[in-house]
């Protein structure tokens, strides 16, 4: 699932995702004082654009240049009355190999972002370390109960970290606010059977 994989997947359709923000993000972040946000695996930019509209300064990261181009175009054409484009930095990067800056973000948000299991947990720990003291970590995934053992593209969904597994990496410098499975707020993408989300929300204490 490298850059070529994702570029080809985005190019296969005029629009891969709806462009709307993820329901978990809206539910959990609405009302939170805006600051600096890292949108991990931003795709076509629905979450980043929504966060910018709420006043966040967003670093939106993805491995696919195709997705980032579409996202930037959508941000530039936003008509919600705020400077959305000016609040988002679109960044081509792979956070699995190059961790984001440490303690740099008041919100680190990753929705349905595939992080392969690693013996040293380097990639998820890199995301945890990117959260500034007092900041929020928000991770959402698909409930494995909704998924087949092997996906259509040959990927085993159990080969990737689930939010509850990332919760196990948190030490006493964190407090877990939510670690649960819940019904989705809107239907999953066409052709899928995603009816439930797994959600981790935690706050870094120091």
**Residue for token digits 């970290």?**
161
Mean pLDDT, residues 9-15 taken together: 76
CA distance 158 to 81: 42
Q: Torsion angle of alpha carbons 116, 118, 124, 130, nearest 10°?
A: -120
Q: What is the pTM of this model?
A: 0.91
* pLDDT tops 80 at residue 105: yes
Chain segment 75-98, per-residue pLDDT in tens: 988 766 578 889 999 999 999 999
Q: Is the pLDDT score of 189 beyond 70?
A: no
Contacts of 13 (CB under 8 A, 6+ apart): none
Which pLDDT score, from 0 to 100, does residue 138 have?
98
d(CA 93, CA 49): 18
Domains and CATH numbers, the chain: 3-204 (3.40.50.150)
pLDDT tens digits, 147-157: 877 877 778 88
Q: Of the candidates 53, 47, 118, which has an alpha carbon nearest to the alpha carbon of residue 85? A: 53
């Amino acid at each position: 699932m490298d850059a070529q994989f994702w570029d080809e997947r985005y190019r296969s359709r005029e629009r891969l995702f709806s462009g709307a923000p993820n329901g978990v993000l809206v539910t959990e972040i609405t009302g939170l004082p805006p600051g600096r946000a890292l949108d991990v695996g931003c795709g076509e930019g629905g979450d980043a654009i929504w966060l910018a509209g709420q006043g966040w300064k967003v670093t939106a990261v993805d491995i696919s240049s195709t997705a980032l181009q579409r996202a930037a175009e959508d941000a530039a054409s936003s008509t919600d009355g705020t400077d959305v484009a000016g609040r988002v930095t679109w960044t081509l990067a792979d956070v699995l190999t190059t961790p984001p800056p440490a303690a740099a973000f008041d919100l680190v948000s990753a929705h349905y972002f595939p992080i392969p299991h690693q013996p040293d947990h380097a990639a998820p720990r890199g995301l945890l370390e990117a959260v500034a003291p007092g900041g929020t970590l928000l991770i959402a995934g698909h409930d494995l109960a909704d998924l087949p053992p092997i996906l259509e593209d040959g990927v085993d969904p159990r080969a990737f970290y689930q939010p509850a597994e990332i919760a196990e990496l948190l030490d006493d410098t964190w407090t877990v606010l939510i670690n649960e499975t819940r019904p989705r707020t809107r239907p999953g993408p066409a052709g899928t059977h995603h009816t439930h989300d797994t959600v981790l929300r935690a706050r870094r204490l120091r």
